[in-house]
Amino acid sequence: MEVLWAPWRMTYIARDREQGCLFCSKLKRRDDRGNLILCRSSHSFVILNRFPYTSGHLMVVPNRHVASIDELNEGEMVALMALLKQSIIILKRALKPDGFNVGMNIGSVAGAGIEDHIHFHIVPRWNGDTNFMPVLVETKVMPEYLEKTYDRLISFVEGP
């Protein structure tokens, strides 16, 4: 039997659960790199998923704490879509994926891990990026450390 060591997963398993909303908490802090925030706008922000499905897994989040897309006003919706578009452009330039999965899970029954603050997931995909590992041994192989991915993406972010 082969053993694949992934010690960074213990951070996820053993972490202290933050009280309150994870997104609201990160948005209040000013350490964008430490919090993996790539971009902020007046109504929304882009953050790397700390426990990604694949390298470059981003989330686009409204600044205002809302649990459903129908709670967003027009300005928030436009800003969210603009950052979604900008994020895909940046990922294309920086990581050159072959495609994307883009989606939003609303409510725990739909798979939302953070159900009280909506957010879009953008997951870059490459031809051949799935293999036997997730199916046979429930293990995902990440090709790059999270901080390295952050550094690659931040160099493509325009503006403050």
- Indicate which residues carry an active-site annotation: 119
Nearest-angstrom CA–CA distance, 130 and 110: 23
Question: For residues 87 and 122, is the Cβ–Cβ distance under 8 A?
Answer: yes
Question: For residues 47 and 58, is the Cβ–Cβ distance under 8 A?
Answer: yes
Nearest-angstrom CA–CA distance, 5 and 135: 17
Q: For the chain, give me the number of helices (H) and strands (E)?
A: 6, 5
With vertex at residue 91, the alpha carbon angle to CA 150 and CA 17, rounded to the nearest 5 degrees, is 45
